[in-house]
Amino acid sequence: MVELLVQTQIAAVLIAFARIGTALIFLPGLGEMRIPGRHRLALGLILSLGLMPAIPVTPPEQTAQLALLLAREALIGLYIGAGARILFAALQALGAFIANVTSLSSALAAGDTGYEGSTAITSLLTMAGLALLFATDSHHLMLRGLFLSYELIPAGWLPLSDLTGQIARLVARSFYIAALMGAPFFLLAVVLNLGLGLANRVMPSMPVFFVAGPVNIALGLGLLMLASPAILAWFSDDFARFFLELRP
């Protein structure tokens, strides 16, 4: 009897860990590459043990059914973690766009939220976004969303078509956010290059490339300084909305 109870509890922890642990691999702030893998696994195990008594999970008796349930829960965790990461990628896309517009795309820096390199502006925006997540307690909101996801998607139920469509909408939303927040920089680039082109027509001897570079960088960084509070505030609200929707 005791052995059966222990097996049931272990299976319940594994089921909870399949969703929570998989999500923690991708969640911004909690699943960054700078955090060692063993620490992320330990955090996922601790959260699974803490949330397991409150999670409505009934382990199946057969091993095949348990393996299928674990696979479904892992896919749901992948959706939650990857969905949050897709939204966070809006800051990366915006940083790359601003760097190209302001002629700073060659100012490369180490990637802070991925294994690939990035521009200095991208690293600045992503680090500011991560700091904002913890400063506004959005990491608590992520954990709350993981717990409430069991009310929206109970254990054992996998609406694969709905999740696939939601991921596609999140990708579109991420690009929309990046494009909308980058619109002032695009307008700046159009106006600046148009003005320099007209100036070159009036004064053919003017060294346009030597003048355009410093002016473009100065105006771009000045606009970034003015727009960054609104950019980060909008991103924080949109990011929080994703986890607030993980409930009925």
**DSSP helix/strand/coil, 30:** coil
The domain tally of the chain equals 1
Range of the domain at 165: 2-244
Q: How many CB atoms lie within 10 A of CB 84?
A: 25
Q: Are 51 and 147 in contact (CB under 8 A)?
A: yes
Instruction: State both tokens at 228.
Output: 């960054």
Taking CA atoms, 130 is separated from 28, 96, 243, in Å, by: 7, 17, 16
Taking CA atoms, 109 is separated from 11, 75, 106, 203, 217, in Å, by: 44, 33, 9, 37, 17
Instruction: State both tokens at 106.
Output: 């060659």
Residues 188-246: tens digit of each pLDDT: 888 887 887 777 777 777 776 777 777 778 888 888 888 888 888 888 888 888 887 77
Whether 141 has a pLDDT exceeding 80, the answer reads yes
Considering only CA atoms, give the Rg of the chain.
23
Phi first, then psi: what are they for 196, rounded to 5°?
-65, -35
Q: Which of 53-62, 107-116, 149-158, 216-225 has the highest mean pLDDT?
A: 216-225
Q: Are 234 and 184 in contact (CB under 8 A)?
A: no
Token pair 């709905």 in the structure block, residue:
162
pLDDT band with cut points at 50, 70 and 90 for residue 4: low
Q: What is the pLDDT of residue 16?
A: 82
- Give Cβ neighbours of residue 176 (< 8 Å, ≥ 6 apart): none
Q: What is the pLDDT of residue 117?
A: 55
Strands (E), 41-173: 108-109, 118-119
Instruction: State both tokens at 87.
Output: 């939204």
Determine the average pLDDT of the residues in 36-55. Answer: 79
| One-letter amino acid for residue 69 of the chain | L
Which of 40, 22, 153, 122 lies closest to 82 in space, CA to CA?
Answer: 22
Q: What is the pLDDT of residue 113?
A: 53
Give, in degrees to the nearest 5, the angle at Cα 18 between 12 and 21. 115
Which of 55, 43, 42, 72 lies closest to 16 in space, CA to CA?
Answer: 55
